[in-house]
Chains A and B, each alone.
Chain A
Amino acid sequence: MTYTKRYDGRKHDEMRQMEAKINVVKNADGSAMFKFGDTIALAVVYGPKILHPQHMQNPRKGILRVNYDMLSFSVPERKKPGPSRRSQEVSKVTEWALNSVVDLESYPNTVVDVHIMILQANAGTRCAGINAAALALASAGIPMKEMISAVAVGKIDETLIVDLIKEEEDYEDGEGATDIPIAFLAKSGEVALFQLDGRITPAELKEVVKIGRKACKEIYEVQKKALKHMEEK
């Protein structure tokens, strides 16, 4: 049996219902929520603020610090609270991705803290986190070269699909599941995040990049709309 019909009936290149909302945490300098179906990410920005301890400051520009984590009850089997090796890695790759768009040269010696928290998880959490974080940064007025959007592309058995759900990620028959989170800069189309886990040929991977680019254009539209409807604080 090859995987042709998706569990939730979506077309291969169809995303889950997306939703984006700005200014969801009032205390923050910027905040946003981003949903891919049942996956909900909250991103909150504080800063730029003077970085302590002082020896960590960069006198030439501000630094970005990303912390990604999941609520303990965001997943079926409780996740032990606090950082894990996985969450530390996701924080780092998210930081790299966001660093490619933020421009903190006007804010030397400062830090911009980005907190990403997954409230409810059904795959694609790091991508939802990046989409929310980009919105939170923009709503905080942090200078950005352009917008960034992320999506998970997958190969389930031999079929390429976009925006995987957990059941698809766990598919074990045939060639199994390959999960490829990928982030693009909205205008230049350059790749800011790329990870892969599974088994895929180089030829298929070229196709994956194209599928990801197309999906991220859709995500960008959702992000743009949310920013337009941003409520005044």
Chain B
Amino acid sequence: MEISNVTKKRIKEYLAEDKRFDGRKPFDFRDIKIEFGVSKNAEGSAKVTMGNTVVVAGVKIETAEPYTDHEEEGTLITTAELLPLSSPRFESGPPSIESIELARIIDRGIRESGFIDFHKLCIKKGEKVFGILLDIFSLNDDGNLLDAAGIAAISALKVAKMPKYDEKEDVISYGEFTSKGLPITEKTPLAMTFHKIGNKIIIDPTREEEETSEARITLALFKNKDKKDGVMITASQKGNDATFKIEELEEIFEKAKEKFKELNETIEEQVK
């Protein structure tokens, strides 16, 4: 169902007093729950619930040809499907720009942070490497699919186990897993999206809030103890028609640092 103008107006009036319909403050996340084992047949899979938003991500591993400019590195392909079953606003058909954008931002965060040591996925230089296929699906959309998808993606990658691989025969025995995980590092990227509604900035919007949002900016961060800030930003993207003031961006960069620590703790508690 479409969000009515009167609801949007009410959301803005509430936010003017730093209030939200569900009682949260502007920079509060909803409760985050991470579960595993969506499918036994995936090398790794995770389901993330944030309020009423539910997203699943799964990892499959195959052998692939490396890219010509990165002959000794494994590959990563990220896709996202916003399933019609998760919201009346999604329709079946070719990937929408919304799903392409979501997958690309998450892909960039994972790739650029150094979360995966792609060199360790090389089987034979220039000829054969392990390719990671990371697929994300929405199961229920109540806003902020991107941040939920980011958590689901890194959770699935963290718990993934390499399948049994016979190098001589060059066959993967799907369904038989080794005890070895993917070569992941400490640099876990986490995506956080900030929304501008009127003069207020909020995070983790519900669907109603997202509909009211005039502009958004996603930042993917990872921990870096060598830096004074303690974190680095590894991917970012602004979306929608409205603009951000320079001061608003500066506030968002600072806030992201603070929220990252909190979000990272929540995830570390649940992903062992």
Q: What are the residues of chain A within 8 A of B237 when measuring CB–CB?
A: 93, 194-196
Complex Cα–Cα for A203 and B217 (A)? 17
Q: Which of A188, A194, A206, A213 contacts B236 (CB 8 A)?
A: A194
Does chain A have a CB within 8 A of B3? no
Does chain A have a CB within 8 A of B243? yes
B243 with A89: CB separation less than 8 A: no
Smallest Cβ distance from A93 to chain B, in angstroms? 7
A-B contact pairs, 30 of them (CB 8 A): A85-B100, A86-B104, A88-B100, A89-B101, A92-B97, A96-B238, A180-B236, A185-B243, A188-B243, A191-B249, A192-B243, A193-B238, A194-B238, A194-B244, A194-B249, A195-B237, A196-B234, A196-B236, A196-B237, A197-B112, A198-B234, A199-B114, A199-B234, A200-B233, A201-B227, A202-B229, A202-B231, A202-B233, A209-B246, A213-B246
Q: What are the residues of chain A within 8 A of B235 when measuring CB–CB?
A: 196-197
Given A89-B100, A198-B112, also A206-B243 (CB < 8 A):
no
A195 with B257: CB separation less than 8 A: no
Does chain B have a CB within 8 A of A100? yes
Does chain B have a CB within 8 A of A189? yes
Complex Cα–Cα for A92 and B245 (A)? 21
Given A93-B237, A192-B243, A195-B238, also A202-B257 (CB < 8 A):
yes
Given A92-B101, A196-B235, A197-B235, also A189-B246 (CB < 8 A):
yes
B238 with A93: CB separation less than 8 A: yes
Q: What are the residues of chain B within 8 A of A199 when measuring CB–CB?
A: 112-114, 224, 232-234
Complex Cα–Cα for A203 and B231 (A)? 10
Interface range, B side: 35 or more
Q: Which of A191, A198, A201, A206 contacts B238 (CB 8 A)?
A: A191
Residue ID in chain B nearest A101 by CB atoms: B243
Does chain B have a CB within 8 A of A205? yes
For B182-216 the 0/1 string (1 means CB < 8 A from A) is 00000000000000000000000000000000000
Does chain B have a CB within 8 A of A122? no
Extra contacts, 9 of them, besides A190-B245, A191-B243, A201-B224 (Cβ < 8 A), are A191-B244, A191-B246, A198-B112, A199-B112, A199-B113, A199-B232, A201-B232, A202-B229, A202-B256
Smallest Cβ distance from B245 to chain A, in angstroms? 6
